[in-house]
């Protein structure tokens, strides 16, 4: 597992696409990606945004494609908000292409001319992400790969949203009991995925947790 931080200069097309985002804010940082649904094109994020002058967060219901669900904290023109992002139908194919089993992390900062994005994942998937950026014509200003480091307070934080959801459901419904209280076919219906997809998520989740626990023993 490695961490990728990539800094991208937006071209004219990219700036135009993000223009609605910056009618009200100078920039925003994703503090935590709470949920990403690649099939529905929905993200729920905790962000910190810097409003433009003479604007009040109380008068703003959305920032571009992001609906403001709640304002957590405000300091001057800097606000911490819970937001829900909706991808447009014409961008769904590109959005789904980013479903690479990656964990979004900090720093992830979006401004009018530049995007800094950070994520954790396997080398192969991180390389695929970089190729997607290049294919779209993005100009890469800086890029770094580092060994991923996690805080131990919550071991489930190393999992993707879907891996965590499936693993928790497996535990909750007795998949790991002996004898099992539920089989993989029944569990797949509980979490609304195919059996093959369920097993893929479980194996990856189990592998990541074991890798984290056993770090230093190999």
Q: Is the dihedral of CA 200, 155, 1, 46 positive or negative?
A: positive
Judgement on whether residues 124 and 169 belong to the same structural domain of the protein = no
Q: Which helix (H) or strand (E) holds 167?
A: helix 161-172
- 202 and 182 housed in the same domain: yes
Q: Could you give the number of structural domains in the chain?
A: 2
Structure tokens at 174: 């007795």
Whether 50 and 102 map to the same domain: the answer is yes
CA 15, distance to chain mean position in Å, is 21
186 within a domain of the structure (yes/no)? yes
Query: Would you list the DSSP string of 94-159?
Result: HHHTT-SS-EEEEEEEEESSEEEEEEEE-HHHHHHHHHHHHHTT-EEEEEEEEE----TT-GGGGS
218 assigned to some structural domain: no
Q: Are 181 and 130 in a shared domain?
A: no
Render each residue's pLDDT in the chain as its tens digit; 218 residues: 889 999 999 888 888 988 998 999 999 999 988 888 999 999 999 999 999 988 999 989 999 999 999 999 999 999 999 999 999 999 999 999 999 989 888 899 999 889 999 999 989 999 999 999 998 888 999 999 988 765 544 677 788 888 989 999 999 999 988 889 999 999 999 999 999 999 999 999 888 887 776 665 55
User: Do 15 and 73 sit in the same domain of this protein?
Assistant: yes
Last residue of a domain, one of 100, 125, 147: 147
Q: What share of the chain is helix, strand, coil (3-state, %, to 5)?
A: 35, 35, 30
Q: Which residues share a beta bridge with 82?
A: 46, 70
- Picking from 147, 166, 184, the residue at the C-terminal end of a domain is 147
**Partners of 37 in the beta sheet?**
42
Helix H or strand E segment including 198: helix 195-213
Phi-psi region of 9 (alpha: psi -120 to 50; beta: other; left: phi over 0): beta
Asked, for residue 115, whether it belongs to a domain, the answer is yes
Same domain, 132 and 174: no
């Amino acid at each position: 597992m490695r961490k990728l931080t990539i800094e991208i200069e937006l071209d004219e097309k990219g700036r135009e696409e993000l223009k609605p985002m910056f009618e009200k804010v100078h920039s925003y940082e994703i503090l935590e990606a709470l949920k990403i649904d690649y099939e529905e094109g929905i993200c729920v994020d905790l962000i910190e945004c810097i409003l433009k002058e003479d604007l009040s967060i109380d008068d703003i219901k959305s920032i571009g494609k992001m609906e403001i669900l709640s304002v957590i904290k405000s300091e001057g023109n800097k606000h911490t908000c819970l937001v829900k992002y909706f991808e447009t139908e014409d961008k769904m194919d590109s959005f789904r292409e980013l479903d690479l089993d990656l964990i979004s992390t900090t720093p992830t900062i979006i401004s009018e001319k530049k995007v800094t994005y950070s994520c954790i994942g396997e080398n192969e998937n991180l390389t695929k992400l970089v190729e997607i950026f290049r294919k779209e014509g993005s100009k890469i200003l800086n890029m770094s790969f580092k060994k991923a480091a996690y805080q131990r307070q919550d071991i489930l934080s190393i999992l993707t949203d879907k891996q965590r959801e499936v693993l928790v459901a497996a535990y909750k419904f007795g998949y790991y009991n002996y004898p099992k209280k539920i089989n993989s076919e029944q569990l797949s219906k509980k979490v609304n995925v195919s059996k093959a997809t369920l097993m893929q998520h479980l194996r990856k989740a189990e592998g990541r947790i074991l890798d984290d626990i056993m770090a230093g023993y190999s």
